[in-house]
Structure 1
Amino acid sequence: MSGSASKDAAFVHEKGLTKRPGSALSTDSSPDSAGVVGVQIARESQNEIKYRTCSWQKTAMLLFAEYICLAMVSFPWSFSVLGMVPGVIVTVAVAATCLYTSLILGRFCMKHPEMRDICDIGAYLFGGSQLAYNVTSIMFILNNVFIQALHVLTGAKYLNTVSNSAECSIVYGVITAVACFLVSLPRTLNQMSGLGAFSAITMGIAVLLTMIFSGVQSHPFGYIPGVEPLVTAIPVAGTTFVSGMSAFLNITYTLVGQAAIPSFIAEMENPKDFPKALWAVTIAEIVIYTICGAVVYHFVGVRSPNQYVAAPAFGSLTHTFKIIAFSFALPTIVYLGSLYSSVSARFIFFRIFRESRHRHSNTWLGWTVWVGIVALTWVLGFIIAEIIPFFSDMLSLMSSLFDGWFGFIFWAMAYLTMYPGKSKWDGPLRSAETLLNYFFILLGAYITVAGTYVGF
């Protein structure tokens, strides 16, 4: 066998793919996906480290930690740019879209349980291409590292706020990165789910306090006597495309979290239960995001040409209120970045060891490599945080670079692969759904192009 043929065979074996004669690679999808999952669980039964151990409740905790997150306190800023009515409409519309695409994602993962992450899916969607796998891998790692950078940036900002000093930002960033690194060390998502529940609860308290304090304080932070806050139903006159698109991307980034979901499903005992976790989280996020954006914007408002509303919204509170509310967000600052580090490290770790015993045993080599990978992700996150030291700018840039693909294009393509040929036009409802998914591909492309223009 030639060198290229050997590499191709190794790639096919690693991804669980088979090759159609004269065509692209495709997954050998057994109709009994539950049987495949059962085999995977049985193979792990004698291992020291078991991965398929998450119940749907624990998966819901991971999703709650992912979505009830720090970025939600940027919604008041988005509402201040878009206006109250468009802000609510965009939030509900994007949430409904992400719910639908995530359900498609879940169906796809249940049909192909041998795929462990979004990189395996990316290879499949583009015909099993090694190039597609590598490009998706780079995008996946960068997406996660950018999220880690966001949490390093915010952790440093929190410590600056508490200490009332902006002179030690680099030191505070290092402290945050080290704390997150330690929380990232568990090898399975099951071990991290309990912390996820705690993170979501404390973040919920932080948002609640932000809404209460924004109404209780006499004036927002930075108030200019005689220049009263303004609340509008529609965008204020002079709102530019760039600012409006940035506000849209802030909302989109918070609601698009599909990149990590295949990794969550890959560690579920019963992937068919995934929709239960997804529906619970989606209902909660629509309610919380909309109320947070509307209430804080209502009390804080904007002043032209600058804004009283800050991103994150803690910056709109007076100093004492800011410290109290911001402090309850600290577990999320540490945990959520750690979750994404863990997902990235797991992807790299599995590719290094493949079927080796180090992958599922407590060996010195296995743990050394794992710790080294986790540390590397936080070093990269810290560097990016120092390069882009602005919260809203980082959110917009992340959204434009990755969300078009991981939030819309990938899952529309996954839908089209599940209904090949004429089957996608089988009846009016199926045809309408097919047209909707073609629209999602165009929407994802628009977000990527227009969003990147705005981000830069």
Structure 2
Amino acid sequence: MAEKYDQSSPSLEGDEILGGPRGEGRYHDTDVFGHEENHDIRYKTLSWQLVAVLMIAEIVSNGMLSLPSSLAVVGLVPGVILIVFLGVFGLFTSWILIQFKLRHPEVHNMGDAGLILFGPIGREVLSFGTIVFAVFATGGQLLAGQIALGSLSNSKLCLMLYTGIFAIPTLICALPRTLDRLSWLSIPSVFSILIAGIVGMIGAGVSFPIANVAVTVNTSFVTAFISITNPVFAYAGHFMFFILISEMKHPRDAMKAAWVLQTFATTFYVVFAIVLYVYVGNSVASPAFSSLPDKWQKAAYGIAIPNFLIAGSLYSHTAAKLMFVRFFRKSEHLYTNTVLGWSVWIFLIFLMNAAAFVLAVGVPIFNYLIGIAASLFASWYTYGLAGAFWLYDTWVDKGGMPALKRHWPMTGLSVATLAAGAFICVAGTYVTIKQIVDAYKANTVSAPFSC
């Protein structure tokens, strides 16, 4: 079982946990990467600014392109309220995850957290879920790249070939062993999705008159929840937070990165969704760029390609990193340039990207499977499990049930967070399965490996 971090005076405050004003001291004694002074490969090199860039590059990606269509289904006001609420909720759960990581430096990923909360079975389930979701998310980025390349070339090639073409640079960019190297690639990635979104909004503004938009829309639960899952999963990046914080120079600064992420993401999501919906109207497509006239569509997709590529690389890197650290934790192969270490690392990166490619082109219902994976795992990683983390630490370190009663507002919020994760998980899985059934009934499912 993972080593439990020992504190002489239990507290939920980061400064006390880390034993110093800059996050050094006792934290590194039990940290997953330990003291790195004499290591060939040093992981703990990220500043909070670069972590913010990595978070934005990972989360603010092709998921935002589905938000305008969500407004078309539920209406302008409910849609905007939902996006803002989920952004604030995501910031709250980010704070809990960061506090949990500071209290448990040995936690590198959700699997390690599962070991602390639920024992060996919890570790395997949460590790498996992280890998599955990361691979599926990589596949989703490959499909986004496929759509972008197809738009730029007027679909002159088989779509499967576009996916393969896009998979190669995605694999190459995932190869660096440390996230510090990927963080510098993430800077142009963030600029690309920001500029692409601005170009898309300009294209909508100059190409369409203001549409007749609905403030609210009456719709069925299934239809509404399908659209609600779009903003829910547009924030689904928390499963990477432990891995990102593990490679920070000063982990106590992680909350600064979370503030930047959620402020940027929520503001950008709201503005982008409103502008595209107001100009394109109820016919807005998902992804939204596909609703634009040809020249604007090409411009937006072309500019967004670096973001799709780097986001896919970050996801596959995450899946490979989880397994690599699991294999070689406290081994020289983790931090030394050994033949075995590099061979295993390259193999894992290839395996994760190959799996994402095969799933993306070989499974006709892959888009629906992404929804199921997000419902089963991201609902817990981004929302539900945060409640369990706070309840566990308060129970263990502050005195059990009396402590939970004493901190009853946070106890109530934590229980509500668990309930929200459970609701999103069950309802999201149900509506996605219903979509699959309806697609087969309507005979709209293509053959595997088709163009």
Q: Taking structure 2 as the reference length, what is the TM-score of the superposition?
A: 0.88
- Provide the C-alpha distance between the structure 2 equivalents of 1:124 and 1:365, rounded to a whole number of angstroms: 30
The verdict on how the C-alpha distance between 1:152 and 1:407 changes in structure 2, with shifts beyond 3 A counting, is: same
Partner of 1:5: none
Rounded Cα–Cα distance in structure 2 between residues aligned with 1:247 and 1:35:
47
Per the alignment, residue 71 of structure 2 pairs with 79
Offset of 1:363 from its aligned partner? 1.9
Paired residue secondary structure (2:72):
helix
Q: How does 1:292-331 map to 2 (within 5 A)?
A: 292-302=272-282, 308-331=283-306
Q: Is the 8 A contact 1:154 1:391 kept in 2?
A: no
Deviation at 1:167, TM superposition (A): 4.9
1:371 and 2:346 are equivalent in the alignment:
yes
Give the AA of the match of 1:276: K
Supply the AA of the counterpart residue of 1:433. Answer: M
Residue 401 of structure 1 deviates from its aligned partner by 2.0
2:49 is aligned with 1:69: no
d(CA) in 2 for partners of 1:385, 1:377: 12
How do 1:369-408 residues align onto structure 2 when only pairs under 5 Å count? 369-387=344-362, 393=368, 396-408=371-383
Residue 420 of structure 2 corresponds to residue 443 of structure 1: yes
C-alpha deviation, 1:388, in angstroms: 5.2
User: Which of 235, 246, 253 does residue 266 from structure 1 map onto?
Assistant: 246
Aligned to 1:283: 263
Aligned position for 1:246: 226
The C-alpha deviation readout for 1:343-386, integer Å capped at 9, x for no partner, is 11111111222222221112222111111100100111112212
Counterpart code for 1:445:
A
Residue 215 (structure 1) aligns with: 205
Structure 2 gaps of 5+ residues are: 10-16, 19-23, 434-451
Closer, same or farther: CA 399–170 of 1 in aligned 2, 3 Å:
same
Measure the CA separation in 1 of the matches of 2:369 and 2:61. 15
Contact 1:53 1:269 in 2 (8 A): yes
How many angstroms does 1:395 deviate by?
Answer: 5.4
Aligned partners of 1:44, 1:301: CA distance in 2, in Å? Answer: 55
Segments of 4+ moved more than 6 angstroms: none
Query: What do residues 18-48 of structure 1 show as CA deviations (whole Å, max 9, x unaligned)?
Result: xxxxxxxxx5456553423344577311111
Identify which of 340, 347, 371 aligns with 2:322.
347
Task: Give distance in 1, aligned partners of 2:201 and 2:237.
Answer: 25
Residue type of the alignment partner of 1:73: L
Contact 1:249-1:451 within 8 A present in 2 as well: yes
Q: Is the 8 Å Cα contact of residues 311 and 391 (structure 1) preserved in structure 2?
A: no
Q: Which 10-residue stretch deviates more, 101-110 or 56-65? A: 56-65
Question: Which secondary structure state, in structure 2, belongs to the residue aligned with residue 366 of structure 1?
Answer: helix
Deviation at 1:269, TM superposition (A): 1.1
1:256 maps to amino acid:
A
Post-superposition Cα deviations, 1:267-314, rounded to whole Å, max 9, x if no partner, equal: 111111111111111111111000001110000001xxxxx2111111
In structure 1, stretches of 5+ residues that fail to align are 1-11, 18-26, 220-227, 303-307
Q: Does 1:90 align with 2:72?
A: no
1:102 matched to which residue of 2? 94
For residues 212 and 339 of structure 2, what CA distance do their matches in structure 1 show? 60
The 3-state SS of whatever aligns with 2:216 is: coil
Other-structure match for 2:436: none
Distance 1:331 1:384, change over 3 A: same
| Structure 1 residue aligned with 2:190 | 200
Shift of the 73–391 alpha-carbon distance from structure 1 to 2, 3 Å rule, reads farther
After superposition, residues 123-134 of structure 1 pair within 5 angstroms as 123-126=115-118, 129-134=119-124
CA apart distance, 1:392: 6.5
TM-score normalized by structure 1?
A: 0.87
Separation in structure 1 between the aligned mates of residue 213 and residue 370 of structure 2, nearest angstrom: 24
Which of 336, 342, 362 is equivalent to 1:361?
Answer: 336
| Alignment partners' CA distance in 2, 1:264 and 1:353 | 18
**How many Å separate the matches in 1 of 2:416 and 2:362?**
35
Aligned residue identity for 2:175: L
Looking at structure 2, the residues matched to 395 and 310 of structure 1 have their Cα atoms a distance apart, in angstroms, of 19
Partners of 2:8 and 2:223 in 1: CA distance: 48
1:189 and 2:179 matched: yes
Q: Spell out, residue by residue over 1:230-260, the C-alpha distance to the aligned partner (whole angstroms, 9 max, x if none).
A: 410001x4x2222211111110001131100
Is 1:424 the equivalent of 2:404? yes
The letter for the 2-side match of 1:258 is H
Structure 1 counterpart of 2:168, from 158, 172, 178: 178
Give the Cα–Cα distance (whole angstroms) in 2 for the partners of residues 131 and 391 of structure 1: 28
Q: When the two structures are aligned, how many residues end up with a matched partner? A: 414
Any conservation in 2 of the 1:252–1:399 contact (CA below 8 Å)? no
How far off is 1:76 after superposition?
A: 0.5
CA–CA distance in 1 between the matches of 2:231 and 2:201?
18
Report if aligned partners of 1:77, 1:297 keep a CA contact under 8 Å in 2: yes
